Structure 1
């Protein structure tokens, strides 16, 4: 018999009266971030900035290092170098000053846009706690902040080597000048790669754990993995295209990286 309106006995709540709370640690306990229109616009603009800047740097790399390498018979100064330094100088020595200048300036003048594009790294890790998401963002952004200096320094390095070769001088101070410039140039490159390496591993681990704005398979969308892919592309591409891309591994990597993140964010938020 159903209770009368005056019956003080409360009715038992139905199953749909209150939803069951999501247990801590459950994959759905961290909802995907809700996107406001202004946030979506800024995020898409950041992706476009990253793609366009990567293209500009790719062209700059081709201008700086995309000529066929010359031999020490043509430029004896190459005998003083080996490895990456020798290959880089062998590509820059036959290039004109104008070509080298534009190759450097395309990277330096567009460099600030990379910092804007780094919004993708911060957004990718939402809604992870700040203590986990902020460090990789700062590490990766610091690496991009160093990149324009390293890229632009190739102009001065190549010009110094050309001047020493054309002067025919064998004074020790002049002959060692390009080597000194190369040492200073490679220091920020080494720091940049360390920052990217640590930040990339940190970011990849968070994405693989789940609960971020990116699907788990996007753990590959970081500078470290994309640089490895970019290096393979530039090493294995045959013919004239391979020669043009021989010094563009980082730019190919960034073009791949920001194309991936932009495509995923655009699709998810559209």
Structure 2
């Protein structure tokens, strides 16, 4: 059974909107960081040093200017606190359930969102290091290895935050499905674990230039969908009290 909201309805709405605004800012940041056509190994020999995802991501950043990379990173870092406010919004949606069901998923998701600005902002340093090595023409093994070393540090928090999101999403889904929250039961399928893959599918719907611009934005599109739907669900719930 769906329960009424306990918190101030205005703050629940505003903090939900904070999550939407943060997702939009991060989406723009992703476009700035990773939204250019990939550079080729013939133009950027440093790409031959890497393979897989690191190579693809570097190929997207190498053609970008310093200013573009800086703004792409800063948009995510500076708006990171909005995601933490949005986690309070999620707590208001599930807090009516038993504490062991409602508190852990919110803490897990909040931890993931707290780690995300570091990972997002680190793309600037990673991309800039690769650009610097390329433009210097250096054949030093130490310098050439520098972007790879930075990528290792960058991907560790990314994997950790994704793990927190996966566990938190599954836990939240169970909490909402059991009822006794302010969220309607259909919200059990609205969480980062579901919305981020949907974001990747959405990118595939855009051909040409638009698809290239959005190629690195699956997480931000997923979060935009997540917080837009959670805000709508609690907004409607508040209006129907």
- When normalised by structure 2's length, the TM-score is 0.96
Cα distance in structure 1, aligned partners of 2:228 and 2:176? 18
Q: Which has the larger radius of gyration?
A: 1
Question: In the alignment, is residue 157 of structure 1 matched against residue 134 of structure 2?
Answer: no
> Among 197, 202, 205, which residue is 1:228 paired with?
197
Q: 2:6 and 2:24 mapped to 1: Cα distance?
A: 28
Are 1:200 and 2:169 an aligned pair?
A: yes
CA contact 1:33–1:126 (8 Å) conserved in 2 = no
Residue-pair matches, total: 239
Instruction: Give the superposition deviation at 1:47.
Output: 1.0
Q: Deviations over 1:38-62 (max 9, x none)?
A: x101101101111111110000000
Contact 1:234/1:246 (<8 A) preserved: yes
Structure-1 separation of matches of 2:205 and 2:120:
23
User: What's the CA shift for 1:236?
Assistant: 4.2
What value does the CA root-mean-square deviation take over the aligned residues? 1.2
For 1:197 and 1:138, the matched residues in 2 are separated by 12
Task: Give 1:247's aligned residue.
Answer: 216
Distance in 2 separating the partners of 1:179 and 1:152: 16
* Gapped regions of structure 1 (runs ≥ 5): 1-26
Larger relative helix fraction: 2
Structure 1 residue ranges, 4+ long, deviating more than 4 angstroms after superposition = none
Matched, 1:209 2:178: yes
1:89 to 51, 58, 62: 58
Stretch deviating more after TM superposition (81-90 or 193-202): 81-90
**Cα offsets for 1:117-157 (capped at 9, x unmatched):** 11132122131111221111100000000000000000000
CA 1:122/1:200 → structure 2, altered by over 3 Å: closer, same or farther?
A: same
State the TM-score, normalizing by the size of structure 1: 0.86
